[in-house]
Structure 1
């Protein structure tokens, strides 16, 4: 069964804020055509993560990977996301939900940031 990868961004009132995330989602979809990539937001924008997961569930998909596009693990990732995932696990039976760590804590991203800042 194919996996849906939910790229989870925070959300902002500024519409230009989302452009880099849309580029990442589009390029990842091209690189991984066998996987469905869905950009979702924790707040302020749609689709929200719960909307995206309900849509995937309605389409018969049951394997989910949540990849937070966050620099580090603050309150949203330590409290809000686990509570939301617990709610969705209860609401959408039979789902496999995997949650990655924040993107900014990846050694590859740290190296890229250091290179860009040189």
Structure 2
């Protein structure tokens, strides 16, 4: 079984974390052919951290997990922290294929997304 783990930074603001969980639900509906399981997880400041998210996927039968960093830039979290966490989890679960996809901001689709978002912007009144 294939799993997708959507990883965001995490926030003290519950609504921000809920937005990521809602996005994971939308992903689940739209990528069911590629992924049997879709879960949100966070680097910090939330209930489900990356190791717990990986454990949840495994408990649901995942044999392959793709970690998708929901980050715009290749800062320390993307370049060091998330890979280090994945390496520790891989060491504990050698029989599970855990891979790291490029962060969201690295996508070639980002320019089209930004243009589409700007074109569809709304006027904010003062």
TM score, norm. by length of structure 2: 0.83
TM score, norm. by length of structure 1: 0.88
SS in 2 for 1:107: coil
How many residues matched? 117
Could you tell me which residue of structure 2 aligns to residue 30 of structure 1? 29
Indicate conservation of the 8 Å contact 2:65/2:96, yes or no: yes
Could you tell me which residue of structure 2 aligns to residue 101 of structure 1? 102
Deviates more, 1:52-61 or 1:35-44: 52-61
Deviation at residue 28 of structure 1 after TM alignment: 1.1
Could you tell me which residue of structure 1 aligns to residue 86 of structure 2? 85
Deviates more, 1:68-77 or 1:104-113: 104-113
CA-to-partner distance for each residue in 1:61-98, whole Å, 9 max, x for gaps? Answer: 22000001100110001111111111111111211111
Q: Structure 1 residues 110, 11: closer, same or farther in 2, change over 3 A?
A: same
- Greater Rg over alpha carbons, structure: 2
Indicate conservation of the 8 Å contact 1:104/1:110, yes or no: no
Output the aligned Cα RMSD. Answer: 1.6
Please list every run of 5 or more consecutive structure 2 residues that lacks an aligned counterpart in the other structure.
Answer: 120-126
- 1:1-118 to 2 correspondence within 5 Å? 2-34=1-33, 35-118=36-119
Indicate conservation of the 8 Å contact 2:37/2:62, yes or no: no
Deviation at residue 20 of structure 1 after TM alignment: 3.1
* Separation of aligned partners in 2, 1:59 and 1:115: 36
* Separation of aligned partners in 1, 2:68 and 2:85: 14
